[in-house]
Amino acid sequence: MNFKINKPQVVHEVFDDEVVVVNLDTGNYYSLDGVGALIWRCLEAGSSTSEIVHTVNESYEGNEALIERAVNELVGELQQETLISASDGIAQTNGTESQDSSDVATSGAKVPFKTPVLTRFTDMQELLLLDPVHDVDATGWPSAKPGIVTGD
C-alpha cells in the first residue's frame, strides 16, 4: 500500500538523520530519527510499505519479520496522527521526478536495527495554532475566524 503526506496541513524538515514534522491542524509536532527518518523519506518518495520494508532491510542489520512489523506499526501511528493517508499509488513529486526507495537508502555498512519511535510534542500547540498570516480576507487583511466576536 502507498501513502501520501497530508499536505498542506503537514509540513516537515529533514535535518541529517532526523525529521521534524508539524501538523498545522493540531499544533502537534513530531520527531523521527534513524530508521524513522528513513521511513519518512521513503514515504515522501512515494514508496509502498513493501518497498520501505525492503529499503530498511537493505540499510539495517536485523530480523526481517521484526523490521516489517516495526515499519507497519510506525506507518499506522503516522496515519493515526493524521500525518499521512492512503494514496492511490501515485507518488508525490512536488513537480520533480519521483525517487525510488533505493535513492533514499542510507549508504555504508549496515548498522543494527533499532525500532523507530515517533516522538510527539504538544508544548507549542497554542503558538503553532496561531496563524495570523493565513487568517486573512480576500484583500489580504487579517480577519477573525467565523463565529469570533471582535471588539468593534
pLDDT at 36: 98
pLDDT at 33: 96
pLDDT at 64: 96
- Average pLDDT, 10 consecutive residues per value, the chain (152 residues): 94 93 93 97 95 97 97 98 86 43 61 96 81 56 52 50
pLDDT at 88: 76
pLDDT at 128: 73
Bond into 142 cis (ω within 30): no
- Whether 36 and 118 have beta carbons less than 8 Å apart is answered as yes
Q: What is the pTM of this model?
A: 0.76
- Relative to beta strand 10-15, strand 18-23 is antiparallel
